[in-house]
Amino acid sequence: MEDRPDLTGIELIDTVRVQQGEEYYRLGNNSLQKNQYGLWELYVEGNPLERGLAIGSLSQDLLKKQEKAFMGKLDDFVDSPQQKKFLSKVVKWYNRKMYLHIPEEYKQEIYGISRFNSHDYDEFAKPYVLSLYLHGAHDIGHALSDLMLVGCTSFAAWDEHTENGQLLIGRNFDFYAGDTFNEEKIIEFFNPDSGYKFMMYSWPGFIGSVSGMNEHGLTVTINAGKSKIPLIAKTPISLVTREILQYARTTEEAIAIAKKREVFVSESIMVGSAEEIKAILIEVSPKNFGVYEVENSSELICSNHFQSEAYAEDSRNQSAIKNSHTQQRYDRMKELLAENEQLNPEKAAAILRDKKGVEDKTLGFGNELAINQLLAHHGIIFQPEERKVWVSSSPYQLGAFVAYDLDEVFAEFENGDHSLKSIDSLLIKKDPFLDSEAFKNYELYRKESREIQHKIQQEEEISEEKLVSFVALNPDFWKAYYWVGEYYFQQKNYKKAIVYYKQALRREVTTLPDVEMLEKRIKKSYRKI
C-alpha cells in the first residue's frame, strides 16, 4: 500500500493545540470540547490536510485511546507475536490496493490525523497505513455479518405519518467493537473548503460517515447487507457516504456518487432529502447496484436485507431474510410505525429504544431480534427540513438524545463562538429503563456471560449456584440457558445440558440456524447419555 498521499504544494499549518479548559481545546478556529452529556463536539474547517491535522491535534488523546481499544481486539484472535506478525502480512496483502480506491482528499485528511497516532503498533503497520486499515474495518465487520457484529435498523417517515408533515428519520447504529471502543463519541461539524458543510456522529480518528446530515438537509445512514467475504479491499463504504454527505444535495446526486465508487461489501445507504421531502435506499454491492423507493407510501424501513428489484433474485439476500433476524426487525419496525401515527422526535426515540419483538413478544435483553439490542454505538434522529438532529448519549441509545440546529451551529462557529452548541429545550430525556433493576441485571449479565464463556473455553468448574443466578439475571433471553447448557455439555452432564438447551428453545431464539443448532445439541446430548 502507498505510504502517503500527494502533498505537493500544500503548506503544513501550526498543529499545537491550546487548552482552553479541562476538556476544551482550540487550534485556530477549530475546536474540541466535551458537553455535559459526555459527548465530544468537534469543529474543523479548511482544506483536507488542515482538517486532518486539526482533528489529530485536537483529539490526540482520544485517538490513542480508540486505537488501543480497536487494536486490543486483536488479542481476542491471536495469542503470540508470531501470529500477530502473520496477521499483519495478511492484512497488508488484503488492503494492498485500497489506496487506489480512496479519493486523494480523504487520503490527505487521514494522513493529517495519522501524524498524531501512536507508534505502538508500528510492527503491525505504520500510523498512516494503519489509519487506512481502520477505515476498512467497519466493512470487514459487515462482511462478517455471519458472526453478527452488526444488525442496524432505520426508518424514514413524511407527509401524513409525521406530526408536522416533514421528513423524519431515525436509526440505530449497532456496530460493536467492545465497550471501550464505545466510550468516546464525537459529534463532528465539518466546514470544508470544497463541497457542503455537514455533521456526522462518529468516533475518534474516523472520517467516514455512518450517520450524518449536510447543510442542505441531505442525510445518510448505512445498514449492512449480506456479503461474501471479500478477497480485496476497495472503497470503504463510509467514505462513499462521506462523499455523498459532502457533495450531494439531492437523491439523484447521491446515486451518481455511489455509482462511481467500487465497494467491497454489500450495504444499504438510506438517503434523506429535505429538498425532495423523501428518503430512498441506495443498495450497493461489489457486483450489483439498486435503488429502492416506496410507491404510494410515505414511509421507508431498512434493516439488513435489500428491497430493490436489482436484488429480487439474489440468493445471499434471500438467505439473509430466511436465516437471520433482519426480517423480524423489519416487521417489528413496521408494527411500531403503525402504532405511532403523527411521528415526532420523542416518538422516534421511543421506537429506537424498543426492546420487544414482533407482536410485543418478550425477547430478553440483548436479543438481536429487537430494534434496541442494547448494543448500539448510537441512535440518531434527523428533521432534515429544519436542519435539526438528535444524537444519543451513552449507554447505547438509552441516554438523553441531545439536539442541535445545524444552521445555528455553523453560523456560530464561523463567527468564532465556540461555546457548547446543544439545544437544551429540545432535549429528549434518558430512557427510564436506565434506572431500573432490570438494566443493572442486564449489565451484570453481560459481564458474567463473558466470564462463563471464558471458563468454558478454559474447562474450569462453575458452581451450580453461580449458573442459576446467572440465568436469573436475564431469564427471558435464550442465550442465558444456552451457555449454561454448553457448560454442562462440556462437563459431560448431558441430562442437565438437555434441560437448559430445551429451556433455550422455549424462548425467542434469534435465528433459524440458532434453532437448528440447539436441536442438534439436544440430539447429540441424548446420544451421549
Question: Please, what are the averages of pLDDT over each run of 10 residues along the chain (529 residues)?
Answer: 64 80 95 96 96 96 90 66 66 71 92 92 84 77 49 92 97 83 93 98 95 98 75 82 98 97 89 98 93 93 91 85 88 95 96 97 96 94 98 96 97 92 95 97 97 94 97 98 97 96 97 95 93
pLDDT at 219: 98
What is the C-alpha radius of gyration for the chain, rounded to an integer number of angstroms?
Answer: 23
| DSSP string for residues in 320-382 | HHHHSSHHHHHHHHHHHHHHS-SB-HHHHHHHHT----GGG----TT-TTSS--S--SEEEEE
**Contact present, 475 and 507 (Cβ < 8 Å):** no
> In this structure, what C-alpha cell is assigned to residue 35?
458537553
**Contact present, 272 and 386 (Cβ < 8 Å):** no
CA 139 to chain centre: 11
> In this structure, what C-alpha cell is assigned to residue 476?
427471558
**Contact present, 527 and 509 (Cβ < 8 Å):** no
Quickly list H helices, 115-179.
127-143
Element (H, E) at 514: helix 512-528
pLDDT at 445: 98
Q: Report residue 70: phi and psi, to 5°.
A: -75, -50
pLDDT at 145: 47
pLDDT at 135: 84
pLDDT at 162: 97
Q: Check residue 489 and report its DSSP letter.
A: H
> Rounded to an integer, what distance in angstroms lies between the CA atom of residue 343 and that of residue 250?
24
Region of residue 435 (phi > 0: left; psi between -120 and 50: alpha; otherwise: beta): alpha
Bridge partners of 211, per DSSP, are 221
Print burial letters for 412-422: b (CB count within 10 Å at least 16), e (below 16).
Answer: ebeeeebeebb
In this prediction the pTM is 0.93
Contacting residues for 380 by C-beta, under 8 A, at least 6 apart: 170, 171, 173, 201, 211, 221, 389, 390, 391, 392
pLDDT at 479: 98
> Rounded to an integer, what distance in angstroms lies between the CA atom of residue 380 and that of residue 157?
14
Bridge partners of 32, per DSSP, are 25, 42
Quickly list H helices, 115-212.
127-143
What's the Cα-to-Cα distance from 179 to each of 66, 175, 184, 376, rounded to whole Å? 11, 11, 10, 10
